[in-house]
Structure 1
Amino acid sequence: MFSENFSKKLRNNVGINGLISILIGLLILFWPGRTAQVGTVLIGISFILIGVSYLVSIFALMNENPWSRFGHLLLGTVYLVAGIFSLINLAAATATLFIIIGILVGFTWITEGFVSFGFVPYSPSKPWTILSGLLSVVAGFMLLLTPLWGAMALWTLLGVVVLILGIFKLIRYFTW
């Protein structure tokens, strides 16, 4: 199977992963707003770095098509401004991020529901396929009607799932 050294490293990775998962799950469950804001800060910093890299790349494109340079200028500016604004008003940026995620997940679930309807003629269990499609469409529309609340519920669910996975990983670590 595996060498003892490799097996020990795998076991340690599972244990560390379990501890980190438990920590993240607890942070999401007990400090959901602050934890989400940390994520928003990381996204804001990423946007600033991406924007700066686009703006710096303009100087490397001196001999390129002016439209290419203009595109890099435009993208760099948009990323930079979005990153700065997300750090200036962290609460608003976090709420906006949650709303965007809620809307995207809502559209995804609606699409998934309609795709299920398309498979009904080919499904061996038509009632379950129809029920699955209906639930996806209804859940998607509910999420579109209340994207912030829906995203907050998904955030809480994520915290629960990550916490449970972390506990199971620690159990696996100690029973290895």
Structure 2
Amino acid sequence: MTDFAKKVRQSIIIDGLISLIIGIFIVVWPGITASVAAVMIGVGFISIGSAKFSISVFGGDGNKFRIIEVILSILYIIAGIFIVVDVKYSGVSLLLVASVLTGIVWISEGITQITDAIEWKEHRVLYTILAIINIIAGVSLLFSPLFGGLFLWMFFGITLITVGIVKLVQSVAIN
């Protein structure tokens, strides 16, 4: 086995193990992992807000939008602090926001597919059925965002487990 193949194999193994472990954590402890993910996002917001604030205040480039940049950076910091301080509800809030946004995206995608299906001659029926499924799924997420968010979170965990296993099997196949 060449040195390059060994490195590729090692990176696939590491990627597979990380995917598998995170997927297992999500499936076994969905609430805790959602809270951890939310806290990571909160810390990211604080970091981004702090960096934007220091660049806005101490950048000295005379930007006419500097006050807007300062306000946005402060909002980033405040949002991050709220997420980090209220860990118990941060995970639930993350699932709710992800569910609502996914629902909106699916509804808009379904509407776009219906408008596209009108112009298509071939496969119009299949395209319309898929559009209706997207709209129904999006509406169901909007009407039940917590259940939908939990379902999406568990689906994400199962997907990570599957990807992890496939990558580990793939690493064995590399010679």
**Whole-angstrom CA distance in 1 between matches of 2:33 and 2:73:** 27
Counterparts in 2 of 1:62 and 1:18: CA distance versus 1, 3 Å: closer
The residue that corresponds to 2:100 in the other structure is 103
Q: Is the 8 A contact 1:44 1:84 kept in 2?
A: yes
Q: 1:173 corresponds to which letter in structure 2?
A: S
**Whole-angstrom CA distance in 2 between matches of 1:62 and 1:12:** 46
Mean alpha-carbon deviation: is it higher for 5-14 or for 134-143?
Answer: 5-14
**Cα displacement string for residues 86-142 of structure 1 (whole angstroms, at most 9, x for unaligned residues):** 111112222222111111100110111111111223151121111101100010000
Q: Is the 8 A contact 1:57 1:72 kept in 2?
A: no
The residue that corresponds to 1:158 in the other structure is 156
TM-score, length-scaled by structure 1: 0.92
Q: Calculate the aligned-residue CA RMSD, in Å.
A: 1.5
Matches within 5 A, 1:67-106: 67-106=64-103
Gaps of 5+ in 1: none
Gaps of 5+ in 2: none
Q: 1:140 aligns with which of 138, 158, 164?
A: 138
The residue that corresponds to 2:127 in the other structure is 129
Q: Is the 8 A contact 1:123 1:129 kept in 2?
A: no
- Matched residues, percent identical? 31
Q: Is the 8 A contact 2:106 2:138 kept in 1?
A: yes
Q: Is the 8 A contact 2:36 2:91 kept in 1?
A: no
Q: 2:114 aligns with which of 112, 117, 142?
A: 117
TM-score, length-scaled by structure 2: 0.92
Q: Is the 8 A contact 2:39 2:90 kept in 1?
A: no
Counterparts in 2 of 1:80 and 1:127: CA distance versus 1, 3 Å: same
